[in-house]
Structure 1
Amino acid sequence: MTVRAILSAKGPQVASVEPDVKLSAALRILSERQIGSVIVVSGARIEGILSERDVVRALDEHGAAALDQPVSAAMTRKVVSCRLSDTVAHLMEVMTAERFRHLPVVEEGKLVGLVSIGDVVKLRLQHYEAEQEALRDYINMA
């Protein structure tokens, strides 16, 4: 199982904002789309990622004034990404070790998708359910 399988099931849609967008506008996107992060891009370049955790930290540090600051003030600048060929097991290792819930998918320097821990869990559950069904069928045929 690879990242390619996840994106083929969920699609390549990625919510993104520019670094100078106000944090309040980014929050509206997170809320309206019911997502946990947006990729911060400048042109085609990934500048950072803004997650719910980043927002909580910004609000803790600056209070309500954080909402008027640019996303670039709150985002995580060190972006860890993955590739289409990466395995789901590798994603689980990275997400657990780094405590990330979202990984941008980058191929040849281009953002091609975003994978969340929810996507990984969903794919793993589907895989286990298919295995269980195959075992039941095997046992019933014996």
Structure 2
Amino acid sequence: MTVNQMLSVKGNQVFSIVSSISVYEGLKVMGEKNVGALLVIDDNEIVGILSERDYARKIVLKDKTSKGTLVSEIMGTEIITVKPTDDINYCMGLMSGKRIRHLPVVDNGVILGLVSIGDVVKAIIEEQKETIHHLDAYINGTQL
């Protein structure tokens, strides 16, 4: 399964914020959209990702305030992107190897979506279910 196929199932809606707002405002957007991460986009370019993990580790544990801290101060800035033609196993390898949970999907400079580790795991499970179904049908000599 490709990233594009996964996006066609999950949707390609991307929620974003700018780096100059407070972490509190960013968290409000996360809550309103019911997501665990937001792309941080300044001047039409991805400059970071703000996640719940960033908040927990860089605000709560460091005794800072979300209202007094800018997104730019805590966002992740190592942005690893994937293409819509990339395979989900490639995504899983990137996420595992780099210890990240979100991959922006970009093609020719255009943001097409965002996939999470949960999206990738769900897609892999679906692929495995289909494989098991095909193998079961083959072993039992039944038609698909």
Task: Provide the TM-score with structure 1 as the length reference.
Answer: 0.91
Distance 2:23 2:131 in 1: 44
Q: 1:54 corresponds to which residue? A: 54
Equivalent residues, number = 141
Whole-Å separation in 2 of the counterparts to 1:43 and 1:134 = 48
1:122-141 matches, cutoff 5 A:
122-141=122-141
Please give the alpha-carbon distance, in whole angstroms, between the structure 2 residues aligned to 1:120 and 1:13: 16
Matches within 5 A, 1:1-142: 1-59=1-59, 60-61=61-62, 63-141=63-141
* Runs of 4+ residues deviating >4 angstroms: none
Question: How far apart, CA to CA, are the structure 2 residues paired with 1:99 and 1:12?
Answer: 23
Structure 1 gap segments, 5+ residues each: none
| Aligned amino acid, residue 93 of structure 2 | E
- For residues 87-109 of structure 1, the C-alpha deviation after alignment (integer angstroms, 9 at most, x for no partner) is 11111111011100101011111
Identity of aligned residues (%): 36
Which runs of 5 or more residues in structure 2 are unaligned? none
Kindly report the root-mean-square deviation, in angstroms, between the aligned alpha carbons of the 2 structures: 1.5
Contact 1:30/1:36 (<8 A) preserved:
yes
Distance 2:14 2:68 in 1: 24
Hey, what's the Cα distance between the residues in 2 that align with 1:76 and 1:64? 17
Does the CA-based 8 Å contact 1:13-1:113 persist in structure 2? yes
Give the Cα–Cα distance (whole angstroms) in 1 for the partners of residues 65 and 133 of structure 2.
Answer: 54
